[in-house]
């Protein structure tokens, strides 16, 4: 197998994998197929596919400007591949965007419903228009093969200069507007990345990326098809790239200093580290490499430096797009494998389309020989499947299809998706109670342990079906309900009885069994009466009955005294407002300010409820 | 009139009546915990929540309905817009799901229906049909302690300052929302700092749409400027090359 076939096989595999994820994305939604959250609504599909993709395709306007505006005719040989890359790059951006949009079938709304204040509106329009311009710029190349299209082709060739000028205008607009997108997020984007001149920095780095992408791509295709790369021609691009990146670094650092954020560079955090890594890879290393004349004119040197710049600037876009966004809870976004599979798959499809175009149309001066078109080669026989694979061209396609289908199948196998509208208990792990019938758990979620009879509770609540009664998990990170959720009286707002205080080692230090006899269900009903310890708790003649062995709280008692009459009188006098809280609680602050309330309550001993005095407790 | 809500966190006792009323009013289904939830209680099915801050201060979290909403300025298709009363409302039929509004909101309010194959953005819409009909939103109507009240923005601002002036020891001397992000329709007064409602950062007085406005206003000029520049350059370079060619041709003919 030659280099091209190996690469195509790998690409088809990746596209197959992406196809399976794509199915999951559109059937089950974004939640099932991405790691995006309400805190990080944008992820790698925006950072890489859209922002990285647009920046990667910047080579188109750089090269057309060089050749058609600055009339540097010696660069003519690389115009066609550069325009093709740009066209396919923007197509990939548009397709990648379809995955990211929640409602991709509404993408045309941008044409109908306008909001010119939105930078995204402008980016969208520019990408649409520029895609059209690129299609028109590139159309003459495939049209060469079809004599019928000669007339249209001639018109387009005549209109080339205006097209190029419009293309440059659109490119410089939206390359910078991708930076403007983030101007509205001063609180979201980290200060090392947020800057009022973000659009300018995006434009400069896009030019740098365009230049290095032309170098990278020329070397890649030269390697694949065993051609001689235009190393001398590319050396001038490398030189330009060096200066552009130098300007970029100066602007970026100067901006930090002017904004007085330079101190952020030395904060002990992972973000300054990321910043340094990014600047290093995208600018400092390529500048250093390109500065050496020998490296600049060597094939390996050009390729290495360009790869650094390309990776670094794409990393910058990904960082701005989602990674460098501090989250309130400190966690940060990492893409899921499905997101990466889609991103890689879209790029792979674009590369396959590129290879198809250069093999079938005159993108280069001479079309590369079809690697499969070896006239002397016999049809292949597959010893494993005992089948004839046909002539080499067909055999290659069979292999690609097989790779695609297998990858898609493997992808489906690894997909873990839930139906779109499931019951949705997905975040909290459910573990079966292990280790016998009594569990030592933090039952009241207060940091104190309690011996919990799990089996007994399960039986009493209705067997296996009863799990959801406690493990209902309707609160974030709620693995099991606190005991007090069912045993409501434990935390009733009572003045006289505080369960916590009684059980606490710093309080009354009463062990469970001292009130709740062992072997019984431990509820208020089965507990011993308060007056076992607290003698004369309820004096004779008190009108409040102590229910369930528990003193009724003052507020409870008072409410019960008043509310019954209020309800009755409200009906009699047809004054429903009489039942409202503020009928009595005229001054709200009395009710709300608990300190005042406590003081007032303390002064009420001896009227209806006898509150245990500290002496009585002892 | 500019509709507004004033929430006094010192009066809130965390009873969640507002949350229940909001759910009933907007017919929101039962919420289940999801991987993508933040732990502030808001979700696509829960448009308001009560968040506990320091010193047991309870603050109701909801859309602030900014006077200059960042979300509406960000939306490329104008699915979010501000009504005359000040409510920032959402038209799902226009939305294309880019989620730029969620990125742009300084308070992180809009939530997404991540679980749905056809997802929409969800947030508090200020019960705009109720306030347009002269009624008050469901949440303020339900509040038993009048911790959150509805009214005209100017009057509520005066009320807020009045309350702070009457009890300066109790309140922090700031009305949240008076100037934040260019002013918001939802105002807060509190005994503690309320930046926990906006993910810990203090939202400055600058309206967020203004940050992109400068860049967006430059767009037509930049576009025509770049194109004119390129056309001019092309013309000049071509002319020079032609002259060079002509003169060099003449020189040759002379010799």
Confidence label for A589 from pLDDT (cuts 50, 70 and 90): very low
H helix runs in chain B, sequence order: 17-25, 70-74, 100-104, 128-132, 138-142, 153-166, 209-217, 219-254
> What is the least distance, in Å, from the CA of A41 to any CA of chain B?
6
What's the mean pLDDT in B211-235? 90
Q: Which two tokens stand for residue A432?
A: 């079966």
Residue with the bigger pLDDT between A307 and A564: it is: A307
Q: Do A115 and B75 touch (CB under 8 A)?
A: yes
> What is the least distance, in Å, from the CA of B78 to any CA of chain A?
5
| Contact in structure between A389 and A382 (CB atoms under 8 Å) | yes
How many CB atoms neighbour CB A434 within 10 A?
Answer: 7
Q: What is the pLDDT of residue A270?
A: 83
User: Sign (positive/negative) of CA torsion A205, A206, A212, A216?
Assistant: positive
Q: Which of A36, A71, A591 sits opposite B36 (nearest CB)?
A: A36
Return the percentage of chain A with pLDDT > 70, whole number. Answer: 74
Residue A121, pLDDT > 70, answer: yes
User: Sign (positive/negative) of CA torsion B28, B34, B37, B40?
Assistant: positive
Of B27, B16, B100, the closest CA to residue B61 belongs to B16
What's the mean pLDDT in A255-274? 86
Q: What is the pLDDT of residue A609?
A: 34
Q: What is the pLDDT of residue A389?
A: 64
Residue B248, pLDDT > 90, answer: no
> Chain A window 544-583: which residues touch B at a Cβ cutoff of 8 Å?
580-582
**Residue in chain B lying closest to A67 (CA):** B234
Least confident of A54-58, A129-133, A208-212, A445-449: A445-449
Residue A279, pLDDT > 90, answer: yes
> What is the least distance, in Å, from the CA of B129 to any CA of chain A?
23
| H, E, C per residue of A148-215 | HHHHHHHHHHHCHHHHHHHHHHHHHHHHHHHHHHHHHCCCCCCCCCCCCCHHHHHHHHHHHHHHHHHH
Q: Which two tokens stand for residue B198?
A: 């906006």
Residue B36, sorted as left (phi over 0), alpha (psi -120 to 50) or beta, turns out to be alpha
Q: Do A39 and B215 touch (CB under 8 A)?
A: no
Q: Which of B103, B118, B144 sits opposite A103 (nearest CB)?
A: B118
Under DSSP, the state recorded for A26 is: H
Of A101, A49, A46, A38, the closest CA to residue A327 belongs to A38
Of A471, A481, A483, the closest CA to residue A425 belongs to A471
What's the mean pLDDT in A582-608? 45
Q: Do B223 and A475 touch (CB under 8 A)?
A: no
CB of A71 within 8 Å of a chain B CB? The answer is yes
Q: What is the pLDDT of residues A283-342, one digit of tens each?
A: 999 999 999 988 889 989 999 999 999 999 999 999 898 888 876 666 678 888 999 999
CB pairs under 8 A between A and B: 241
CA distance A50 to A43: 10
Residue A254, pLDDT > 60, answer: yes
Q: Which of B10, B115, B230 sits opposite A421 (nearest CB)?
A: B115
> What is the least distance, in Å, from the CA of A406 to any CA of chain B?
26
Q: Which two tokens stand for residue B34?
A: 């999801």
Q: What is the pLDDT of residue B251?
A: 56
Of A120, A271, A343, the closest CA to residue B102 belongs to A120
Q: Which two tokens stand for residue B193?
A: 């700092």
CA distance B8 to B58: 9
CB of A475 within 8 Å of a chain B CB? The answer is yes
Least confident of A18-22, A372-376, A581-585, A607-611: A607-611
Q: Do A71 and B241 touch (CB under 8 A)?
A: yes
| Contact in structure between A241 and A309 (CB atoms under 8 Å) | yes
Q: Which two tokens stand for residue B69?
A: 């909403």
CA distance A302 to B10: 66
Residue with the bigger pLDDT between A350 and A582: it is: A350
Give residues with Cβ within 8 angstroms of A503, minimum separation 6: A448, A510, A512
Average pLDDT of chain A, as a whole number: 79
Give chain A's largest Cα–Cα span: 116
Q: Do B77 and A110 touch (CB under 8 A)?
A: yes
What's the mean pLDDT in A143-153? 89
CA distance A265 to A273: 8
- Measured CA angle at B175 (ends B172, B178), to 5 deg: 155
Q: What is the pLDDT of residues B84-95, one digit of tens each?
A: 999 999 999 999
Q: What is the pLDDT of residue A491?
A: 56
CA distance A187 to B245: 58
Beta-bridged to residue A312, according to DSSP, are: none
Give the ipTM of the model, two decimals please: 0.91
Burial class (CB in 10 A: 0-12, 13-18, 19+), B185: buried
Return the percentage of chain B with pLDDT > 90, whole number. Answer: 57
Residue with the bigger pLDDT between A535 and A164: it is: A164
CB of A266 within 8 Å of a chain B CB? The answer is no
**Residue in chain A lying closest to B42 (CA):** A38
CA distance B45 to B123: 9
> What is the least distance, in Å, from the CA of A309 to any CA of chain B?
26
Determine the distance from the C-alpha atom of residue A43 to the mean position of all C-alpha atoms in its chain, rounded to a whole number.
4
Residue A352, pLDDT > 90, answer: yes
Residue A4, pLDDT > 80, answer: yes
Element of type H or E holding A543: none
Q: Do B238 and A71 touch (CB under 8 A)?
A: yes
> Chain A window 128-187: which residues touch B at a Cβ cutoff of 8 Å?
161, 164-166, 168-170, 172-173, 176-177, 180-181, 183-187
Determine the distance from the C-alpha atom of residue B92 to the mean position of all C-alpha atoms in its chain, rounded to a whole number.
17
Q: Which residue bears the tokens 């873990």? A: A416
Confidence label for A222 from pLDDT (cuts 50, 70 and 90): confident
CB of A422 within 8 Å of a chain B CB? The answer is yes
What's the mean pLDDT in A201-220? 92
> What is the least distance, in Å, from the CA of A15 to any CA of chain B?
22
Q: Which two tokens stand for residue A197?
A: 């001149």
Give helix A337-360 / helix A3-28 axis angle, nearest 10°.
130
Give residues with Cβ within 8 angstroms of A596, minimum separation 6: A589, A590
CB of A114 within 8 Å of a chain B CB? The answer is yes
CA distances to A146, A504, A586 from A302, in Å: 37, 72, 81
What's the mean pLDDT in A97-112? 92
Q: Which two tokens stand for residue A147?
A: 């004599």
Q: Do B75 and A426 touch (CB under 8 A)?
A: no
Q: Which two tokens stand for residue B182?
A: 């260019």
Q: What is the pLDDT of residues B13-61, one digit of tens each?
A: 777 888 888 988 998 887 766 778 887 888 898 899 988 888 878 899 9
Rg, C-alpha atoms of chain A: 36
Q: What is the pLDDT of residues A354-410, one digit of tens each?
A: 999 988 888 887 777 665 555 566 666 666 666 666 666 677 888 899 999 999 999
DSSP string, B68-135: S-HHHHH-TT--EEE-TTS-EEE-TTT-----HHHHH-TT---EE-TT-SS--EE---TTHHHHHTTP
CB of A239 within 8 Å of a chain B CB? The answer is no
Of B5, B174, B12, B18, the closest CA to residue A589 belongs to B12
Q: What is the pLDDT of residues B178-194, one digit of tens each?
A: 999 999 999 999 999 99
Q: What is the pLDDT of residue A536?
A: 65
CA distances to A580, B43, B122 from B69, in Å: 37, 20, 15
Q: Do A169 and B223 touch (CB under 8 A)?
A: yes
> What is the least distance, in Å, from the CA of A527 to any CA of chain B?
30
| Contact in structure between B167 and B33 (CB atoms under 8 Å) | no
Q: Which of A169, A187, A478 sits opposite B106 (nearest CB)?
A: A187
The residue of A63, A75, A111, A113 whose CB has the most chain B CBs within 10 angstroms, and thus the best one to mutate to test that interface, is A113
CA distance B145 to B124: 21
What's the mean pLDDT in A489-513? 70
DSSP string, A558-608: HHHHHHHHHHHHHHHTT-GGGGSHHHH--SHHHHH-HHHHHHHHHTTTTSS
CA distance A455 to A464: 10
| H, E, C per residue of A264-310 | HHHCCCHHHHHHHHHHHHHHHHHHHHHHCHHHHCCHHHHHHHHHHHH
Q: Which two tokens stand for residue B174?
A: 């700031």
Q: Do A173 and B102 touch (CB under 8 A)?
A: no
């Amino acid at each position: 197998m030659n280099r091209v076939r190996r690469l195509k096989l790998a690409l088809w595999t990746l596209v197959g994998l992406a196809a399976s994820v794509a199915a999951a994305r559109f059937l089950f939604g974004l939640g099932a197929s991405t790691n995006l959250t309400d805190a990080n609504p944008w992820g790698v599909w925006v950072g890489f596919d859209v922002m990285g993709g647009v920046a990667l395709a910047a080579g188109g306007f750089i090269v057309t400007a060089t050749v058609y505006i600055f009339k540097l005719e010696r660069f003519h040989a690389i115009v066609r591949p550069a325009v093709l890359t740009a066209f396919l790059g923007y197509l990939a951006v548009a397709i990648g965007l379809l995955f990211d949009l929640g409602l991709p079938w509404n993408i045309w709304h941008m044409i109908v419903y306008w909001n010119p204040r939105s930078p995204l509106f402008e980016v969208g329009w520019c990408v649409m228009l520029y895609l059209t311009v690129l299609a028109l710029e590139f159309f003459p190349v495939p049209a060469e093969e079809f004599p019928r299209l000669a007339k249209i082709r001639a018109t387009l060739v005549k209109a080339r200069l205006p097209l190029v000028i419009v293309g440059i205008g659109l490119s410089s607009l939206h390359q910078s507007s991708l930076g403007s997108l983030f101007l509205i997020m001063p609180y979201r984007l980290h200060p090392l990345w947020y800057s009022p001149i973000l659009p300018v920095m995006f434009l400069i780095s896009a030019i740098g990326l365009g230049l290095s992408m032309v170098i990278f791509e020329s070397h890649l295709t030269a390697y694949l098809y065993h051609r001689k790369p235009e190393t001398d021609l590319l050396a001038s691009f490398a030189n330009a790239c060096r200066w552009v990146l130098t300007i970029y670094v100066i602007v970026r650092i100067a901006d930090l200093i002017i904004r007085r954020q330079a101190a952020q560079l030395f904060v002990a955090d992972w973000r300054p580290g990321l910043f340094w890594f990014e600047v290093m890879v995208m600018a400092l290393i390529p500048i250093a490499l390109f500065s050496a004349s020998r490296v600049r004119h060597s094939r390996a040197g050009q390729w290495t430096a360009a790869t650094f710049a390309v990776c670094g600037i794409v990393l910058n876009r990904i960082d701005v797009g989602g990674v460098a966004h501090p989250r309130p809870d400190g966690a940060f976004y990492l893409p899921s494998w499905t997101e990466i599979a889609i991103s890689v798959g879209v790029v792979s499809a674009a590369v396959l389309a590129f290879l198809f175009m250069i093999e079938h149309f005159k993108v280069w001066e001479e079309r590369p020989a079809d690697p499969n078109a070896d006239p002397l080669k016999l049809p292949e026989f597959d010893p494993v499947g005992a089948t004839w694979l046909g002539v080499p061209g067909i055999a290659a396609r069979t292999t690609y299809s097989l790779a695609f289908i297998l990858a898609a199948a493997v992808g489906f196998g690894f997909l873990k998706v839930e139906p779109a509208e499931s019951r949705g208990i997905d975040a909290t792990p459910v573990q079966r109670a292990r280790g016998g019938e009594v569990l030592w758990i933090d039952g009241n979620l207060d940091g104190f342990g309690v011996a919990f009879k799990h089996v007994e509770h399960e039986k009493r609540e209705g067997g296996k079906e009863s799990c959801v009664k406690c493990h209902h998990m309707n609160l974030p990170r709620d693995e099991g309900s606190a005991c007090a959720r069912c045993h409501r009286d434990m935390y009733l707002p009572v003045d006289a009885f505080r369960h916590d205080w009684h059980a606490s080692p710093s309080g009354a230090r009463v062990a469970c069994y001292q009130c709740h006899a062992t072997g019984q269900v431990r509820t208020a009903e089965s507990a011993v009466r308060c007056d076992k310890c607290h003698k004369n708790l309820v004096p004779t003649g008190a009108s409040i009955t102590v229910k369930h062995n528990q003193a009724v709280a003052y507020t409870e008692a008072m409410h019960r005294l008043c509310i019954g009459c209020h309800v009755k009188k409200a009906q009699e006098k047809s004054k429903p407002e009489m039942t409202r809280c503020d009928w009595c609680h005229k001054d709200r602050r009395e009710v709300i300010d608990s300190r005042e309330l406590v003081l007032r309550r303390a002064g009420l001993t001896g009227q209806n409820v006898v509150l245990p005095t500290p002496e009585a407790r002892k | 009139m500019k509709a507004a809500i004033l929430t006094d966190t010192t009066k809130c006792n965390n009873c969640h009546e507002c949350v229940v009323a909001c759910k009933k009013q907007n017919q929101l289904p039962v919420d289940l915990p999801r991987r993508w939830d933040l732990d502030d209680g808001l979700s696509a099915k829960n448009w308001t929540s009560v968040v506990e801050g320091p010193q047991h201060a309870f603050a109701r979290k909801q859309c602030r309905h900014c006077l200059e909403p960042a979300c509406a300025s960000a939306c490329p298709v104008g699915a979010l817009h501000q009504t005359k009363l000040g409510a920032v409302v959402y038209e799902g039929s226009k939305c294309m799901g880019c989620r730029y509004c969620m990125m742009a909101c300084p308070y992180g309010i809009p939530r997404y229906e991540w679980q749905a194959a056809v997802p929409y953005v969800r947030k508090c819409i200020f019960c705009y049909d109720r306030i347009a009909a002269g009624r008050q939103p469901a949440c303020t109507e339900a509040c038993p302690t009048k911790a959150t009240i509805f009214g005209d923005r100017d009057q509520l601002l005066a009320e807020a300052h009045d309350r702070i002036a009457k009890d300066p020891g109790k309140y922090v001397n700031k009305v949240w929302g008076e100037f934040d992000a260019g002013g918001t329709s939802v105002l807060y007064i509190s005994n503690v700092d309320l930046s926990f409602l906006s993910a810990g950062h203090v939202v400055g007085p600058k309206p967020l749409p203004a940050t992109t406005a400068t860049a967006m206003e430059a767009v037509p000029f930049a576009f025509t400027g770049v194109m004119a520049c390129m056309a001019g350059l092309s013309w000049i370079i071509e002319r020079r090359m032609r002259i060079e060619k002509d003169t060099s041709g003449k020189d040759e003919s002379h010799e």
